[in-house]
Structure 1
Amino acid sequence: PQQHLNARPLFWPRGKTLGGSSSINAMVYMRGHKADYDGWEVASGTSVWGWDRVRALFKRLENNQRFGNSEYHGTGGELFVSELQTVNPLSRSFVKAGRELQIQHNDDFNGERQEGVGLYQVTQNRGRRWSSAKAFLESALDRPNLEVITDARVTRVVMDGRRAIGVSYRRNNKYKQARLNP
C-alpha cells in the first residue's frame, strides 16, 4: 500500500522470467534520448555511457527489418526490430489527430529525434515476440560454461575494477554468488 495513494497498492507488473520485461511488455522498441546518455557520460566521467558509444552498441545488437544498416540502425544483430504487423485503427486515428494539431510526424523514434507523433517499431520477428532471452540467451543455452539459474533475484553485480566478474543473488531466501568462468 502506498501512503499517498490512500493506502491503495499500485499494480506494477514486472518481468520475473527469462528475458525480463521484454517477455511480457508491449514490445515497443524505444531507446533512451541522446541527451540522457550524454548526461550519463558527464556524470560518470567516462565515454562508455555517451550517445556515440551506446549508439554503436545499439546498431551492433539490432537486426532492423525496416531501416536496415544506417546511421542509427544495424542489421547484423540478434535483436529483431520490425514494423507492427497489424496496426490498430485507434493508433492510426491518434497519429492523424496529432498531425492535425501540427505535431511533427516522426517515422523513426530511434533515429535523429524522438519527438513527434507516429507508429513505433517493435521487437518482433515475423509478427512474433522477440524477447532479450530469445535474442541473446537461447542460442547460448548449450554452452558448457553457462548455467541458467531461475527463481533468483540478483542483488549486486560483483566488480573487479571496471569489469563485471559475477553477481550476488538471492534464491530460496539464501544469498549466493555466481562468478564468471570463461
Structure 2
Amino acid sequence: MRKLSYLIATSIDGFIGSADGDGEFFTKYVDDAYLEWMFAEFPETLPTHVRRHFGIDDRPNRRYDATIMGRGTYAVGLPQGVTSPYGHLKQYVVSRSLQEVPPEVELVAGDLVAEVRELKRQDGLDIWLCGGADVAAQLVDEIDELVIKTYPCFLGSGMPLAAAGFEIREFALDSVTSFKSGIVVTTYTRKR
C-alpha cells in the first residue's frame, strides 16, 4: 500500500509561511550542499520548471509519483503562468472554489479523505502531500510519514504546519540530516 508523506518546509517554531502563505524567504537558507542532497533524495519535489533550470528534469521520480496540494499552494505559480507545477507527477489540487484546472491537474472538490484512501490502494510510488496547512489538517490521520525540513528562523506567527485540532498523534523518528546552513531534515513514520 502506498504511503501519504507530508514533506514540508517549516520554521523552527512550526510555521510553513507567513499568514498569507508566503514561504519564499526560506530560499535564503538554501546552499549547494542542501540542493545536491534534495536533487539526490527528493528530485520530484522540485517544480518542473526548477528541475529544468538545474538540469535534473531527466531524473526519475524516486519516492513519489503523485502530489496533493491545496488551492493556496497551487496558486503560488499562477501569476507566473505555472499552471502545472509538478508536471512530472500526477497532480491533485484540493479546492471548492476553483472551477477549472488544466487537463494534467485533477481537481478534488469532494471527500478528500476518501480520495486519498483510494489513491493509497492503487499501485505506484508514494503520494506527496505538498501543502498547505488546511489540507494537512484534513488529512492528518492519513499521513503515514513526515519529512520536516526545518529552516533556521523563528517567525513568531504565520501559517502553521497543520491547522488540526489538538490530539496526540505519535510518530517514530527515522532519520535526521543536517546542513551547515542550519537546515535540518527530520523524517518520522506514523506509529499505527
| Normalised TM-score (structure 1) | 0.30
Which protein has greater RCO, CA pairs closer than 8 Å, 6+ apart? Answer: 2
